[in-house]
Structures are given as C-alpha cells and as structure tokens.
Structure 1
Amino acid sequence: MNSPSRTTRPTFRVATVADVPTLVLLIDSAYRGESSRAGWTTEADLLSGQRTDAERVTGELAKPESRIIIMESEGEIVACCQVEHRGDYAYFGMFAVRPTLQGGGFGKAVLAEAERFARDAWGVGEMRMTVISAREELLAWYVRRGYTRTGEMIPFPYDDETVGEPYRDDLEMELLVKKFA
C-alpha cells in the first residue's frame, strides 16, 4: 500500500471521550506486545507493559490546549496523534498507526494533518516532539519529514509506571523540532 487509502479516502476528526477505549488499544498495539511486531514502530524490545491508559488519554482530551486527532478509514480508527499548544510551538505525541497498516502512508498523512492543524488553529511557528534516542529508524523517519535532531536529551521517565517497564537502563528521549515556513 503506497497511499493512505484502502477503498475510501481517510478522514480526520478530533477525538471525543467516546473514543478513549479504542485509542488506548490502538496506541498500545502500535508499540507494545506481539501485535506491535506487525509494524515497524514497535518498542517491544525496549519496554513491556502498557504505553498509555484511559486516564492519560482522557486527561489529554480534557486539556483546553490539547487535541487528539483521529484518522478514520472505512469507518474505523486507524491512526491518531495528540497535539498540544505550548505558546509559540505545538508538541506532537501519542502518535500511533495500526501495525498492519504501517508503511502505507497513514503515518505521513497524520503527521501532515497535525502540522496543518497546529499552524492553522494556533498559528505556531514550529512543532516539537521527543523520541527515544535508541529508535534510530524512527528518528530517521522524522528527519525525512523535515524534523531536526537537536541533540538535546531528556531523561527517560523511569519513575512513571504508566509508560511501561523498560528492559534497559540507558534510555533517554531526544528533542526533535520542525520549523514551519
């Protein structure tokens, strides 16, 4: 699959509380456990356990400066991301594409929609995100989409049980930035 489409064009919308259970399953399936190995974004060799939970997703939906953007295809939620307005920039997170659809252009389309939303809705000049620095292929994917690796490292939240259980003690997050033209 070379484009984000099966038989109908995917659509975007902002998530509601009713979407929380589906979003939790989607996010966890994209990164953790055996189901995540069907895609290329798995973190299963770095962490076990859940990637998110209903409380965290509901909390993001409740923030007035945060939106969770959903991509639907043929009536199903197939991808999502969270965008948060933080002054002169937006923060990108909670990004997930159904593992069996990864590599088909869905992620690229969701990222582009998040950038469009941040520019149009909030008028920000850049998008920022953090990525586990051990995820070289994922970092390279973002670089191909115009993000710059800053070299600024943020400690991994080892004390936060809601992000899963790390297999390694050397994890850290790298800050990536994309300036909008």
Structure 2
Amino acid sequence: MTTAETAIRSAGPDDVPALVRLIESAYRGDSSRAGWTTEADILDGQRTDDEGVLAVLEDPVSRMLVVERDGGIVACCQLEHRGAHAYFGMFAVSPALQGAGIGRQVLAEAERYAAAEWGTTEMHMTVISVREDLIAWYERRGYRRTGETSPFPYGDERFGIPRRADLCFELLVKPLT
C-alpha cells in the first residue's frame, strides 16, 4: 500500500531501533497511555528489545511490515508463515495516530500478504485475555475467539513484568479465503 504520505514495506535491520521505540511506546509506560492499546495497567517492563526484533527480521519464515509516514515508522506488525496459517504479532501503531485507521490498513495488508505470498488460509494471533477492548476490535474485523489459551510467561521479563496473576493468551483466528 502506498499513498502520497504513507507506505507499507518490509523492515530491514536498520529499522530495529525505530521498531523497538515504536512497540515500546504503544504498549508500555506513560507514552502508551496516549493511545488505547496500552498494557501499562497490566504489565511493567519491556515489550520487546533489539534482539527480539532482529530475530524476527532474520527468521526466513517471518516478515516485519512497517508503515512509514513523513520519513518515520508509525506502525508495524510481524507475520510468521506456519504452514496453512500465518501468525500475526508485534502489532503496534504510534499512540498519537491510534484511531486514525492505520491499524485497520496494516491488518488488511498483513492478511492480503499472508494469503497472496504464502497461500495461507487462516490468520492466527494471541491476545492477552483480559484485553477485552482489543479482542473486540479484532472481532469487528472478522476474528473469532477460539477459547484456546496458553499461559503467560510469568518470570520471563523479556515479555514484561505482570501486575496481575490472571494473565494468559487467547487464540484468535480468521479465515483468509
């Protein structure tokens, strides 16, 4: 997708510092409170780091899509090819731009890419189960709750420091055909 001011492209190693700043700003700390996707009330600590983002970029079955606007990265997502389905993660939109439709564009492009480039028939993602507003946003875009959960990695600070004891991930799925 390209318009006069916005372009979506695959990320490269030079993008790592900007991607980490964007992801952290969208989910952690006071800056994240400017948007609606903050996890600051349920998690402290980091969301990702340079090594985590670089690992995605170096993985041959993954892509990191970025949205550039006016020379800066304002949104991103990770796609991972997992056979018949793709996994969608590391989704972030600058808090100052949340609610402006960029997230919908990124999600639609990710779905298009996964189906067209990899031939996948479903998109999968995991969302922290207490994030009801975020889950509802995905449901409005055709994702369904499966009821399948996986444990939150308590004790692994690479994923944040939980502020509550009831966190787990819920699998959401959407057909792409």
The TM-score, its normalising length taken from structure 1, stands at 0.95
SS in 1 for 2:111: helix
Q: Identity of paired residues, percent?
A: 63
Matched, 1:111 2:80: no
Structure 1 unaligned residues grouped into runs of 5+: none
Deviation string 1:31-54 (CA, Å, 9 cap, x unpaired) is 000000000000000001110000
Aligned to 1:160: 156
Whichever residue aligns with residue 61 of structure 2, its letter is E
How many residues matched? 176
Q: Distance in 2 between matches of 1:76 and 1:128?
A: 28
Aligned to 2:19: 23
Q: 1:8 touches 1:73 (CA, 8 Å); kept in 2?
A: no
Question: How far apart are 1:173 and its partner, in Å?
Answer: 0.6
Deviation string 1:103-160 (CA, Å, 9 cap, x unpaired) is 0001000000110110111000000000001000000000000000001111111132
Question: How far apart are 1:63 and its partner, in Å?
Answer: 0.4
Whichever residue aligns with residue 20 of structure 2, its letter is V
Stretches (4+) displaced over 2 A: none
Question: How far apart are 1:95 and its partner, in Å?
Answer: 0.2
Q: 1:8 touches 1:74 (CA, 8 Å); kept in 2?
A: no
The TM-score, its normalising length taken from structure 2, stands at 0.97
RMSD across aligned positions (CA): 1.2
Aligned to 1:100: 96
Aligned to 1:10: 6
Q: Distance in 1 between matches of 2:81 and 2:107?
A: 15
Q: 1:127 touches 1:178 (CA, 8 Å); kept in 2?
A: yes
SS in 2 for 1:90: strand
